[in-house]
Chains A and B, each alone.
Chain A
């Protein structure tokens, strides 16, 4: 037994090199998909470590200012909540009178944006909440300003959020005015979206566009943007609305993952259109 220790002591550089070579060759021999997956996981872990290391002094220095701002904002919102509570009670009474089902309730999980576009394939952000926090694929993500996107991929303590600024992320929306026109919102570049609506829909510049709740992924009533421009008619049937996003995607720092209360448990923790892994 002693000779093994002697060998390792005497030939330490060779042993270290052999381990490095074996590890490298093993990595080279991995399947393509495993290589990409491993590279992605390591880069995300590094991003997260780097973000934590470099951001906490900045975070501490900003804390007192943020605290003051939040206290003031809290006061404003408390007053607003009191008014809205009255309105909600009134709404519940009226809904009961009409026999409507009660609306879905949501709880919010706050998360910080730790990296932008880590995936390189989709337009996405990385947040510091993951499977351990109960986050699952296709959960809606929003800020106080409005809808941000949906959870695309979940890791143990992080998740990739596909932004609305992605051509593959389309949202069923409704114009929040007397027009109540439905349509699909899709990204066209920058922080702008397009929504095709019927020609004579009565939509005006400045009308708010909110999610319609159709499709099951995004809840109803989350703001997407404001109509900035009303386009010319298309084939005599439709016209495009150019919608400016309510969320400033270039300045995203904190977001909220929306949990439907009781909904996910009811469905066996599996979201719409996804399979349990």
Chain B
């Protein structure tokens, strides 16, 4: 059930990103809705789910930009795996923790992506603003969502750190 729900979230994010992504841009910076969803999926599903969803979402994006075929799949698989580590081991109730994870995911993805493209300048010029904007959107959305539904965020500490 969770995989089905996460698949729907991911498909929705891919469609939104490719259709309305441009309209959400602010000073030419767009929030990465796919990574936002991937972070959510990886945190709720774990490393395997995060890696698989990351790979598939990246692969679908690669199809529409075949010049860098495989790069999105690679970067998103690694990000999905890394964020999935937080599943059941990090307390994500706190808004700053959530923001930090999301920021790390998006910035880490962009660092990997632009490093492979040998485009160091874009890491700071595009990666950093995108990570900040996506973090703001993600934190804002999750606050709104959980406030509206009154649900608790699924995140707990299994092991103390």
Contacts and interface: CB of A to CB of B under 8 A. Distances in A.
Contacts of A20: 51-52, 54-55, 73-74, 77, 81
B73 A16 contact: no
A42 interface: yes
Given A24-B58, A24-B74, A24-B77, A16 B52 contact: yes
A58 to B, nearest CB: 19
Interface of A: 12-13, 16-17, 20-21, 23-30, 35-36, 38-39, 42-43, 46
Contact of B66 (A12, A23, A29, A36): A36
B99 interface: no
Main secondary structure of the interface of A (DSSP, over half): helix
Interface in B29-78: 46-48, 51-52, 54-55, 58-60, 62-64, 66-71, 73-74, 77-78
Interface residues of B, number: 26
B84 interface: yes
A16 B51 contact: yes
Interface of B: 46-48, 51-52, 54-55, 58-60, 62-64, 66-71, 73-74, 77-78, 81, 84, 116
A16 B81 CA distance: 9
B69 A35 contact: yes
Contacts of B52: 16, 20
Given A13-B51, A17-B78, A20-B52, A27 B73 contact: yes
Contacts of B58: 24
Nearest to A28: B70
